[in-house]
Structure 1
């Protein structure tokens, strides 16, 4: 009886456990591809629906004419050769588009890695000189050394500058000029640039503020002033820029809240992208840290390593700029579409005599396959946009923002808390 009771309890336990072991609907993708087979959102169907429908209607007309006794057909010896050529062109088109997509991903990942490394090195290696070296900043020609709280604020602003580079790069690659974008709000340093509601410009009061101006009248030396001068003409929308996407400047509204964008005239047509301005300011900060003796722990080699990270950021920006500014030649895309269309319209004429009404679904499947490949290639060839198939640059930047803010708010800087550490082993 005890054995029967034990078996019964084990059976009940197994029965209660089995439902939890069954794959839930949200995990079906791990075990089956059926959810993707019937998925419409995120697929290429919406993009190619009407071209495929057009081919289906043409095949239906050919099948209907054949059914009514009209014999309109082509020889079946030429179309197979054309299918091989079209297939090779589609493969090359898809491969070249994915190469551009993957290169954009690699370059942006390298920028993220460089920002992480540069932020960590600035946060840890930039430190006040040891107090036993020279804490008498009254020497002639020697600027006073900042206090610990002042240096902490300067480094915090430096990390915000590093964080602003990928954000500015994202907008630059998308052709989104100006600073009136919501994600700049708590990323760009507050004294880097200002804008008001009628144009992108700096407030006069901000031009006198910087990270912290540490000046000596005898030396005339000070810390970098990010509010000095005109940052860049690319900070404001250019007059030649057409159709700025989602630019939040209300051009037309009711009479009470009506505002217009006022473009200030430029002295010339010179321009500089915002990411390059940010890279320039980062380099100026590194120079300031080295000049004031705040990089003594790493020396010239550490200074060169930090500058190399900034240079790598600019190099990868140029590589992504090359992808964004060099689309696949339009003649290539036009010829490919013409070849695919010619093949798909010739296909029902070669199949109708042998398949009859079955020509319609077969032509639909072939059109869906060929046009889908071309549609995917067309979607991913420019990976920096806002389409669902493009790179999620907003998510990459948001994740990096969380990391940098965590460093600033939670992690100690400049070896804080490790001085006087005793491991208990005594002196050797």
Structure 2
């Protein structure tokens, strides 16, 4: 007799349905993406809050502006048959079509930059795994007890490269706790004074590989393979720098903002004739949507910051660190066997 009763087919079906439903929820997707545990309301407020705070001044302005337009329309006793209303409707429709295409292009261009950044950091995860695995397995002929700690120290430099790259892309100052635990004090001081810390770490890794080749611990083919992975790290770094230092042309963003302002200034004149004081609510909603979409483009344009809608670089770096620590433990276990 089994220790635990077997679940019925109905129970298994219900359990599978719950798991599938949970996997499609905001909570699960956000947890898989950032590693943070939050409920649906917290996630919506977190992601929406960064955009809403930038858009609310525009919403307040156009709500007040619409109120004045409605008062003016009632003062002048304008009706839906007013001649100017028909002309304004055509102007609003023309700008609406143009504005729709510009907003779509703006959002798509920003998302392409965001997605390219995500692909580059995904490639970074795979490249660091291959490089750490290659160093752990290929350089396996230690001639003295001190060689193994040196290898582990250089494997930690791979983790340090990712952290330094994250800090470099965010254009922030070093935090001692992040990098001090991954290298010696002397190297940390050199890195702090370096003009390009991620590149300095790649140089150290290249030096270590060349030294192992000269000591006949790896052959030429293995050296070239590991150097190719270092080249991939540099290529990934360069791709992220290209996204960071080549924003969407400012003139395009400026023109789109100007067109949004003009459109929202003209639209209440058309709406006030037909909707009276409902115009205020309609304009508040329209300005929230239109300027919100424009702000989404600005938010996604640089995906390497600390905003809630940016890439979860801290989570990715923690994933890489966990992978490297696991490989170091495997290397230590192999040496003790």
Shorter-chain TM-score category? Answer: 0.7 to 0.9
1:150/1:172 CA distance change after superposition, 3 Å: same
Match of 1:91 in 2: 104
Match of 2:52 in 1: 45
Aligned counterpart in structure 2 of residue 389 of structure 1, from 305, 309, 323: 309
Structure 2: segments with no counterpart, 5+ residues: 1-13, 28-39
Match of 2:9 in 1: none
Distance in structure 2 (CA, Å) of the matches to 1:327 and 1:112:
25
Shift of 1:395: 1.2
State how 1:78-117 maps to structure 2 within 5 Å. 78-117=91-130
SS of residue in 2 equivalent to 1:308: helix
User: Contact (CA 8 Å) 1:124, 1:415: kept in 2 or not?
Assistant: no
Match of 1:285 in 2: 208
**Number of residues paired by the alignment?**
306
Match of 1:167 in 2: 163
State how 1:219-234 maps to structure 2 within 5 Å. 231=190
Match of 1:133 in 2: none
Distance in structure 2 (CA, Å) of the matches to 1:164 and 1:398:
11
Distance in structure 2 (CA, Å) of the matches to 1:176 and 1:168:
10
The superposition leaves residues 123-165 of structure 1 with CA deviations (integer Å, 9 ceiling, x where unpaired) of: 111022xxxxxxxxxxxxxxxx731x22211110110111111
User: Contact (CA 8 Å) 1:111, 1:313: kept in 2 or not?
Assistant: yes
Match of 2:279 in 1: 359
Distance in structure 2 (CA, Å) of the matches to 1:91 and 1:37:
28
User: Contact (CA 8 Å) 2:46, 2:308: kept in 1 or not?
Assistant: no
Match of 2:10 in 1: none
Distance in structure 2 (CA, Å) of the matches to 1:367 and 1:170:
35
1:184/1:38 CA distance change after superposition, 3 Å: closer
State how 1:173-184 maps to structure 2 within 5 Å. 173-177=169-173, 179-184=174-179
SS of residue in 1 equivalent to 2:47: coil
Q: Does 1:327 align with 2:247?
A: yes
1:357/1:108 CA distance change after superposition, 3 Å: same
Shift of 1:274: 0.6
Shift of 1:302: 1.9
Distance in structure 1 (CA, Å) of the matches to 2:182 and 2:317:
10
Q: Does 1:188 align with 2:111?
A: no
Distance in structure 2 (CA, Å) of the matches to 1:188 and 1:31:
38
The superposition leaves residues 31-66 of structure 1 with CA deviations (integer Å, 9 ceiling, x where unpaired) of: 99xx56994332022221111121111112212222
1:301/1:28 CA distance change after superposition, 3 Å: closer
Match of 2:199 in 1: 276
SS of residue in 2 equivalent to 1:388: coil
Distance in structure 2 (CA, Å) of the matches to 1:28 and 1:104:
25
Q: Which has the larger radius of gyration?
A: 1
Distance in structure 2 (CA, Å) of the matches to 1:405 and 1:350:
64
The superposition leaves residues 70-126 of structure 1 with CA deviations (integer Å, 9 ceiling, x where unpaired) of: 539542111101111111111111111111111111112212211111001101110
User: Contact (CA 8 Å) 1:127, 1:414: kept in 2 or not?
Assistant: no
Shift of 1:21: 11
Root-mean-square deviation (CA, aligned residues, Å) is 3.1
1:101/1:39 CA distance change after superposition, 3 Å: closer
The TM-score normalised by the length of structure 1 is 0.65
Match of 2:230 in 1: 310
1:312/1:23 CA distance change after superposition, 3 Å: closer
Distance in structure 1 (CA, Å) of the matches to 2:69 and 2:120:
50
Shift of 1:415: 8.0
Shift of 1:181: 3.6
SS of residue in 1 equivalent to 2:318: helix
Greater percentage in helix: 2
Aligned counterpart in structure 1 of residue 149 of structure 2, from 127, 141, 153: 153
User: Contact (CA 8 Å) 2:63, 2:284: kept in 1 or not?
Assistant: yes
- Which fold has the larger relative contact order, with Cα–Cα distance below 8 Å and residues 6 or more apart in sequence? 2
Structure 1: segments with no counterpart, 5+ residues: 1-18, 129-144, 195-230, 237-270, 418-428
1:93/1:119 CA distance change after superposition, 3 Å: same
Distance in structure 2 (CA, Å) of the matches to 1:332 and 1:171:
29
Aligned counterpart in structure 2 of residue 62 of structure 1, from 58, 64, 69: 69
